[in-house]
Amino acid sequence: MIVKTFCARMDHGGCGMLVHVEDGRIKKIEGDPDCSLNRGTLCAKGLAQVERLNHPDRLTYPMKRKGERGEGKWARISWDEALETISEKFKETIRQDGPQAISLGQGTPKGLELFLLLRLANLLQAPNVSTPGNICHMPRETASTLTCGFFPIPDYDHPPACVVVWGSNLFQTNEEGVIGSQLKRALDRGAKLIVIDPRKTAVASRADLWIQPKPGADLALALGALRVIVDEELYDRVFVENWTEGFPELTDHLRQYSLDNVSEMTWVSKDQIIRLAQLFSQTKPACIQWGNAIEHNINSFQCSRALLILMAITDNLDVPGGNVNRVGPPVMRPGELVQIKKFPDKAERILSPEFRLATMMGFVPSQLIVKAILTGKPNPIRMMYIQGGNPLLSYANAKETFEALKKLDFLAVSEIFLTPTAQLADLVLPAATNFEFDDIGHFGLPHGFILARPGIVEPPGECWSDSKILNELGKHLGLGQHFWNDVGECLDEILKPAGMTYDDFKTIGILKGKWEYHSYQKKGFSTPSGKIEIYSEKLKAWGYDPLPSYIDLSPSVEESLKEYPLIFTSAKDPFYFHSAYRNIPSLRKLSPDPILLIHPDTAFQTGIKEGDWVAVETQRGSIRQKAKLDHEIDPRTIVLSFGWWFPERKDLELCGWKESNLNVLTDNNPPYEPAIGSIPLRAIPCRINKSNPF
């Protein structure tokens, strides 16, 4: 039997798949050539899902800790005992310190589980939900909402004449809702390509213009490009006059960003800045494919705003081949699913109300959860429930995160495998994974479609989906009237506005909204003025910069460079998803070690050769990764691999959580991005030495 479905949970998902099933087991996976999203292409992660499903180390029943935290001693328990234990801990914490002493943590969202987690939190009046939002997607999404009223998606359905790939690497790591093969088809049709990335990635190798900026200087580069476009009058005058607010203020604002200063700040020549501006503005239609990398510094939100302004003043918003508004299908609104109206005073009770945009999106920046656990300020955090996340690898300042997790009164983790974070838990729940339960993909994402991801095989042992766990936990907490007899009822309720059930949806596979272009010409943009708000009165009223302004950390960085003469940035491994799947044999064979990219001249100065283990040190700590020489890297920069631990190394503490984990090197102290709380995860001064392998 062959079942059509979509990839999920190995990354953000979206590729159509053909799943071959024999005797109740999945035997083979291949790309679906009839799927309009990927047209048969599939990455190594997608193909490796069979190994993950049948992995001998999968968690298959609930367990509670027997010995000390992290000691590795567990006792098997029933689901009833597990749910009762967690619900009693919730109730006890609420009685003693109130619901604000609970934190519910989410890793990278991949399905409906995030929304059910938020639903549970809102019904409990527990405001402190921790997600990766401040460093992943939300700076772009909130900037889009405030500037143009929608999240602009690159339109690959109509061939763009020019694509700017900014801090993205779609050939190796897909974005939410956008797949690398879509970009490849656009390039094969002849689109001009501009790539902005410190590394010469596979995408950059195809570029007509590759710009190699100083890590963390993206906003300065965007402001330089805007300066050229304004000075040379390369903008679309008709669109600017009719559909923007604040262009004169922008013109005045840009005078402080001379090309000489921008070139110095970014390491990019004036000629390249000019060429970037001219090629993008004069090759139409053009789109910007922006990536997660621009969100890993304290200019994240304003950098997103600057890129939106670039799209807008060149008249590349909501046009075929530009960045477009993809209206979603008629299904339940996310706000209704998460029951936000049941918690009207959440903004006043959340841990970090000063980060207004994070509060608007319903989450607390993770570093503030860690600090509240350790200090009890501004209020104590006593317990955490974490699903689909591995904070020891993904939160900044990993050593402080480690101390915080150890200090909790109670930690429960829902996981597929015993990650380093799960090894610190008091109670571990076995999570089902893709193909083992019915789910809806891309719900709540601003890409204009949702995907049917039906269960194909039964989960092993006693594994439950995260959605089922949360549904049952809600009942144990006395909130049964707000949950469902089973998750299938939830799926049907979400789809009811579309006039279908989940069974109907499975036969369709993909459900799109009503997509059109130039929709703003009928009703304006969804902003207070009905126009693109280059100058944002709302941001000004909230106490934030109304125009994109570059926060320059150069003085403090320059001081640090005296002792730490290099700057590190990082990259996600194409064969893993953040910290996951280093125990999958086929993937580990493709990428066996954490790799550090270094210029040969820099390596020579420190006696480092190809394949040597290198100690990388910052003010926060030291880790080891393996050197790979790269002539294209700027000699002042090294590139580290993200998310590394070693599931096979039972001899190391928590399977080597700190040996090669780059977040041992990062800091979680201020300054933060003012509106959403982003922190520097790249562009960090460091020094290197040759090291012994561990």
User: Can you give the CATH number for the domain in which 49 is found?
Assistant: 3.30.200.210
Instruction: Examine residue 494 and state whether it is found in any structural domain, yes or no.
Output: yes
How far is CA 21 from its chain centroid?
32
Instruction: Examine residue 427 and state whether it is found in any structural domain, yes or no.
Output: yes
CATH of the domain at 652: 2.40.40.20
Same structural domain, 125 and 142: no
What token pair was written down for 369? 């959860």
- pLDDT value at position 48? 93
- pLDDT value at position 653? 96
Instruction: Examine residue 520 and state whether it is found in any structural domain, yes or no.
Output: no
Cβ distance 307 to 151 under 8 Å? no
Task: Please name the residues in contact with 296: beta carbons below 8 A apart, sequence gap of 6 or more.
Answer: 135, 216, 678, 679, 680, 681, 682
Instruction: Examine residue 193 and state whether it is found in any structural domain, yes or no.
Output: yes
Q: What is the DSSP string of 360-408?
A: HHT-B-HHHHHHHHHH--SS---EEEEES--HHHHSSSHHHHHHHHHH-
- pLDDT value at position 323? 98
Helices (H) and strands (E) in the chain, counts: 27, 27
Q: What is the pTM of this model?
A: 0.97
Helix pair 259-266, 270-282: axis angle to 10 deg: 100
Last residue of a domain, one of 53, 73, 91: 53
Same structural domain, 165 and 269: yes
CATH of the domain at 293: 3.40.228.10
Same structural domain, 505 and 565: no
Same structural domain, 313 and 347: no
- pLDDT value at position 335? 96
* Residue range 266-311, pLDDT digits in tens: 999 999 999 999 999 999 999 999 999 999 999 999 999 999 999 9
Same structural domain, 508 and 607: no
How far is CA 354 from its chain centroid?
22
Q: What region does 576 belong to: left with phi over 0, alpha with psi -120 to 50, or beta?
A: beta
Number of domains in the chain: 4
How far is CA 373 from its chain centroid?
24
Helix (H) or strand (E) holding 194: strand 192-196
Same structural domain, 13 and 115: no
Instruction: Examine residue 295 and state whether it is found in any structural domain, yes or no.
Output: yes
CA–CA dist 639, 625 (Å, integer) = 10
Same structural domain, 338 and 403: yes
Give the pairing of strands 427-430 and 613-617.
Answer: unpaired
Q: SS3 of 638, please?
A: strand
Last residue of a domain, one of 542, 564, 582: 542
Q: SS3 of 120, please?
A: helix
- pLDDT value at position 562? 85
CA–CA dist 451, 15 (Å, integer) = 10
How far is CA 567 from its chain centroid?
23
Helix pair 218-231, 270-282: axis angle to 10 deg: 70
How far is CA 234 from its chain centroid?
33
Helix pair 218-231, 300-313: axis angle to 10 deg: 30
Instruction: Examine residue 669 and state whether it is found in any structural domain, yes or no.
Output: yes
Same structural domain, 427 and 461: yes
Instruction: Examine residue 687 and state whether it is found in any structural domain, yes or no.
Output: yes
Domain ranges, residue 38: 2-53
Instruction: Examine residue 549 and state whether it is found in any structural domain, yes or no.
Output: no
Same structural domain, 353 and 485: yes
Same structural domain, 162 and 283: yes
Helix (H) or strand (E) holding 411: strand 410-415
CATH of the domain at 78: 3.40.50.740
- pLDDT value at position 528? 96
Last residue of a domain, one of 53, 73, 89: 53
Low-confidence ranges of the chain (pLDDT < 50): none
- pLDDT value at position 506? 95
Same structural domain, 172 and 122: no
Same structural domain, 219 and 102: no
Q: What is the DSSP string of 67-111?
A: SSTTS--EEE--HHHHHHHHHHHHHHHHHHH-GGGEEEEE-S--S
CA–CA dist 615, 413 (Å, integer) = 32
What token pair was written down for 409? 């009164």
- Best CA proximity match to 647, nearest among 406, 347, 385, 416: 416
